Amino acid sequence: MSTMPAASNLGALDAAHHLHPFSDMKKLNAAGTRIIERGEGCYIYDNHGKKYLDGFAGLWCVNIGYGRKEIADAVARQMNELPYYNTFFGTTTPPTALLAQKITSHAGPNINRVFFTGSGSEANDTWFRMARVYWAALGKPSKKMVIARRNGYHGSTVVGASMGGMKYMHEQGALPIEGIVHIGQPFWYGEGGELSPAEFGLKVARELAEKIDELGADNVAAFVAEPIQGAGGVIVPPETYWPEIARICKEKDILLVVDEVICGFGRTGHWFGHQHFGVQPDLAPIAKGLSSGYLPIGGVMVSDRVGDVLVNEVGDFNHGFTYSGHPVCAAAALENLRIIEDEKLVERVHDDVGPYLAEGLKSLEDHPLVGQTQSVGLMGAVQLVDDKASRKRFEDKEKVGVEVRNHCLANGLVLRATGDRMLYSPPLVITRAEIDQMIETTRKGLDHGWKAMK
């Protein structure tokens, strides 16, 4: 028999004892916590039995959908065999070794190694140290600074939040830490002014060259960016942006770090987001879709350029976590990658449901509240706007997003609003009919948002 208290008490228990991440606890306690009890496919169910289509795959992570028994079985098998052992001091476990090989098999010819962590934030902390250790080993210890982007997101640890460009995070805890600076973001709709998207893409990419020159290339270790900014609003950069960034990193001899925590494992219709843009990272943090969120695991994909130096020159990299390469998490991730491969989910996103979502989003562009839609694979955004012709955005960006989001939620669709952008990131197993449902519910949410704002 279950020892779990009745669901009716859980809200009160939660309010009394659970401090939530990224949540205004006073408001949350007044509104009440939503209790999610189970999931199946693309749907989650709350404690009142209400069914929601999860247009956000949990937190950009449940790529294979909910309720996959194969993962539960793989986890149970590994739990019974070996629930834990560390990967320090010259040991590994079978699923950990197999997983490292499997990840690199999808990453392109110059990436052959992985360092495991417990999360995406830890992955960003890990490469930050790795990059500095790499340059020091090459006799360039002054190459320490990291250039990141305004409105980027790289996690919540001190290093991750510092590399992220979220002002509201920097304001708490006196961030960013020393050695991390920011340049602009390729957000044409909001910041491109009179320039064409292509011109604007080049302009913001060239801010990187200017910043490197200002700091001195001898002081800069790396540039980090998400292929498509996720938490910042699913901002798909103009086509000119990434090739120019890659060119500048090469010319100025700094490492290119591509944060694949959201974009990795099929979300963009490629195994990794950098493959969509045709660039090759030196280091790439991963997490989320690696295990479809079934168990926590992250890592850093390490190119031969860095990996060979770490292995042959550095020797001891004095860094790691108790749960680096955790065997049960690795077993879950391995089974998850098997499912993605066997069900051809990456191809499915690229050839079928990705273009179908793009079409659906485009169909919303006739709505007076919609300024632009963008998507790559199953990662999309709807830009809400006050005046379409002038691209004038609402004074209260939060309000318009929350109005649309809450209406969708009340109608059984989970979406995220980042300010005045509605974000989409459904499980990769979503069907065309479910995409139709997402678009129809969004349109109702837009009608509601329009009335609320005008």
Question: Where on the chain is the footprint of ligand PLP (CB under 6 A)?
Answer: 119-121, 124, 153-155, 226, 230-231, 259, 261-262, 287, 298
Q: Minimum distance from CB of 371 to ligand PLP (Å)?
A: 24
Q: Which is nearer to ligand PLP, 370 or 376 (CB)?
A: 376
Q: Cα 374 vs. chain centroid, distance in angstroms?
A: 16
Q: Minimum distance from CB of 426 to ligand PLP (Å)?
A: 16
Q: Which is nearer to ligand PLP, 298 or 401 (CB)?
A: 298
Q: Minimum distance from CB of 23 to ligand PLP (Å)?
A: 15
Q: Minimum distance from CB of 165 to ligand PLP (Å)?
A: 12
Q: Which is nearer to ligand PLP, 106 or 154 (CB)?
A: 154
Q: Which is nearer to ligand PLP, 294 or 356 (CB)?
A: 294
Q: Minimum distance from CB of 58 to ligand PLP (Å)?
A: 11
Name the residue with the smallest CB distance to ligand PLP. 120
Q: Minimum distance from CB of 181 to ligand PLP (Å)?
A: 18
Q: Minimum distance from CB of 122 to ligand PLP (Å)?
A: 7
Q: Which is nearer to ligand PLP, 425 or 442 (CB)?
A: 425
Distance CA 248, CA 254 (A): 9
Q: Which is nearer to ligand PLP, 230 or 445 (CB)?
A: 230
Q: Which is nearer to ligand PLP, 165 or 449 (CB)?
A: 165
